[in-house]
Every structure is written in C-alpha cells, then in structure tokens.
Amino acid sequence: MTNTIPDCLVAHQRANLIQIPAIIHKLPRLSSRLRREIYVLRDDLTGFGLGGNKTRKVDFLLGDALALKATTVATTKATSFSRNAAAGAAACGLSFHVVLPGTESDQNPLSQSVFAKWGAQLHYEIGDKTALENRLESVVASLRDQGEDVYVLHPGGSDAIGALSYVSVLNEIREFSERTGVHFSHMVHSTSSAGTQAGLVVGQCIANYETQVIGISASRPAPDQFELVYELAQSTAQLLGRQLDPGKIIVDDGFVGSGYAHASKEGEIASQTFAELEGVLLDPVYTGKAAAALLDYSENERFGGGPVLFIHTGGNAGLYY
C-alpha cells in the first residue's frame, strides 16, 4: 500500500493548468482583531481561468479526459465550474459544450461573455433538472454520432476524479506545515457539491494530518450535506485504495441563511471584514458564509488555541450570480 499522497496520486494525470503549490499566508490584521493566528489558502489565485476550487477539479478532470483521448467535453449549467471548464478545454485544445437552463435571454451577460471568449458552444433547455440532463444526453449522443470522443463532466466537478484535486491540496498544506512549523488545528471552508471537503478528508486520512476540517454548508441541512460528502469521500478513497474515517467529516449548517445561492447577512458582514482588513474579496454565496463561521467560531472561542486555516475557494466576488 502506498504511504503518501503523491504516491496515491501518481497514476492520475493532471492537465497542468494551475500553479501549485497553493499560496498560504497569514492574515495579520484579521489575526489581531480575532486574537488568534488566522491563515488563508488562496485558491482564488490558482493562476488559471477565473480561479477558485473549480480550477483544481478541472485540472484533474481534463487530465483524465486527455488520458482517455477525448476530443470534446460536455457538461450542464452556467456555474463557476462550467466557466472554468470552458477555459480548461480551450487550453487543452478540446471542444466544449454546455447545456444551460432557460433561454439565451435568461443568462447572465458576464457569464455569456466569458463562455464566448473560450469558444464554448452553448445549448439551451427550458425545464427542470431532468430536462437538462436529457438534453445533455442528446447533445452527447449527437457529438458521438459525428465521431467525437466525448468526456462528460459532472456538474460542479464533484466526482471521485475531481475530488482528487483536494487530496492533493491537503498534501500542499502538509508540506507548508513541515516547511514553516505552522500546524493548523482547524481548517474552515465552504461545502456544497462536496468535492472540496471529500478530497480534504481523504487526504487527511492518508497523510495522518491531525486537524479538524470543518465544512460550512452553503446550501443543505447538515445530515444531507454529511451524506453527500461521505458518499463522495468513500468513492474517492476506494479509487485510491485507501480507508476513509467518517468521523473526520464535520459539517456545520448554521450559516446557510435563507438557502442556496442566497447571500446571508452574516456572510455579507464577513465579506466586508475580509475586504476592509485584508483586501481579500469573497463571494456572498459560498466563501462569505464560511468566513462568517470563521468569525463566529473565533469570537466564541470554539477553535481552541492553534492556528486556523481559512480555505478561500474562490467565487469571483459574486459577479456571476
């Protein structure tokens, strides 16, 4: 059995789109205000596409697509993932197709603009999730009839291949700790489609890095989000031939606010705090809610005494919502 994360990942090709290792740095003014050491992992600055955790997933997923000799990739929805996947496909010389809900006039013009810059071919479908999935199947079938080798991307990139990206991130954090002597007692991040948290937890199990990875739910009640993370972490661990410790999956749903894709008052305050104190932009839907949890945990002394790592998963400061 392999003993390190790099050993586990060696068989899985990356597209080499992003800059690694991640930038990790202390937030001095926020640390002073909260009276504890707060660091941030800057996955908003991955050096590719629009940045964020989705570029991590795209890197592994398109690496897998290239290994399988795909010529085209396809997915659904206008999300941070699909926009970054369009950028990745362009950089890898692959055609890209995305099925969007509604009509062309329903779309965010900024989102449409970046899709166009990366040469994405857009398809529209009015209806529910099932209608969207059926249209994707139709598009993929048509492309294959034309001789294309199509690699279908899970919406959000949160499958076992995509989650490998955050197994890799856990190794970058481990290496940072070894290099600097800063060991994080807690890591806080936004969790929704589960790929980020699942990868971190699997990486933690492989590396035996003693910490608490706290996923702040951006959308679901804790039991539902836990189950989503568990299932993905289990499939990711199986892909790598490793064992998962479900006890390491921690989900807090106390900062969801009014629901998915809706900003919360606490998240907006936290986003403003990060901007004013550190010049760091967060989005109100995902990272803002995780930042609200970070502030609340700190102010109520729920972390203990060790340094805390805030994982900034990107979000483009809410420009595309």
pLDDT over 70 (residue 1): no
Cα 208 off chain centre by: 22
Q: How far apart are CA 213 and CA 10, in angstroms?
A: 24
- For residue 40, the model assigns a pLDDT of 98
Residue 254: pLDDT over 90: yes
| Cβ atoms of residues 321 and 79 within 8 Å | no
Phi/psi region, residue 257 (left: phi>0; alpha: psi -120 to 50; beta: rest), is left
Residue 185, pLDDT > 90, answer yes
**What is the mean predicted confidence (pLDDT) over 188-215?**
95
Identify the band that residue 80 occupies on the pLDDT scale cut at 50, 70 and 90: confident
Q: Residue 98: beta bridge partners?
A: 75, 122
Most confident of 95-109, 234-248, 259-273: 234-248
Distances (CA, A) of 248 to 4, 64, 213, 243, 251: 18, 28, 7, 12, 10
Give the pairing of strands 150-152 and 250-252.
unpaired
Most confident of 156-160, 185-189, 316-320: 185-189
- Which band of pLDDT confidence, cut at 50, 70 and 90, is reported for residue 85? very high
pLDDT band at 318 (very low <50, low <70, confident <90, very high): low
DSSP 127: S
Residue range 251-262: average pLDDT? 85
Q: Return the half-sphere exposure (C-beta side, CA atoms, 13 A cut-off) of residue 155.
A: 13
Task: Answer whether residue 321 shows pLDDT above 50.
Answer: no
Q: How confident is the model at residue 162 (pLDDT cuts 50, 70, 90)?
A: very high
For the chain, list the domains and their CATH numbers: 5-52+159-318 (3.40.50.1100), 54-157 (3.40.50.1100)
Least confident span in 1-15, 38-52, 198-212, 273-287: 1-15
Q: What amino acid occupies position 82?
A: S
Look at residues 45, 56, 48, 50 and name the one whose alpha carbon lies nearest to residue 78.
50
pLDDT of residue 311: 97
Q: How many CA atoms lie within 13 A of 80 on its CB side?
A: 25
Contact present, 190 and 250 (Cβ < 8 Å): no
Q: What's the token pair of residue 42?
A: 């800057």
Asked if residue 32 has pLDDT above 90, the reply is: yes
> Is residue 2 scored above 70 in pLDDT?
no
- Pairing state between β 72-76 and 150-152: parallel
Mean pLDDT computed over every residue of the chain: 92
Write the CB contacts of 19 (distance below 8 Å, at least 6 apart in sequence).
46, 47, 48
Q: What gap in Å lies between CA 185 and CA 212, rounded to an integer?
A: 6
Task: Write out the DSSP string of 195-258.
Answer: HHHHHHHHHHHHHT---EEEEEESSS-HHHHHHHHHHHHHHHHHHHT----GGG-EEE-TT-TT
Nearest-angstrom CA–CA distance, 313 and 196? 9
Please state, in angstroms and as integers, the Cα–Cα distance from residue 8 to each residue in 4, 201, 238, following that order.
6, 14, 11
Tell me the sheet residues that pair with 150. Answer: 72
Q: What is the pTM of this model?
A: 0.93
Q: Rounded CA gap, 319 and 104, in Å? A: 18
pLDDT value of position 158: 87
Q: How many residues does this entry show for the chain?
A: 321
What percent of the chain has pLDDT above 70? Answer: 97
Residue 89 clears pLDDT 70, i.e. is over it: yes
The model's pLDDT over 35-79, given as tens digits with 9 standing for 90+, comes to: 999 999 999 999 898 889 999 999 999 999 999 999 999 999 888
Task: State the average pLDDT over residues 219-245.
Answer: 96
Among 113, 149, 107, which Cα is nearest to 126's? 107
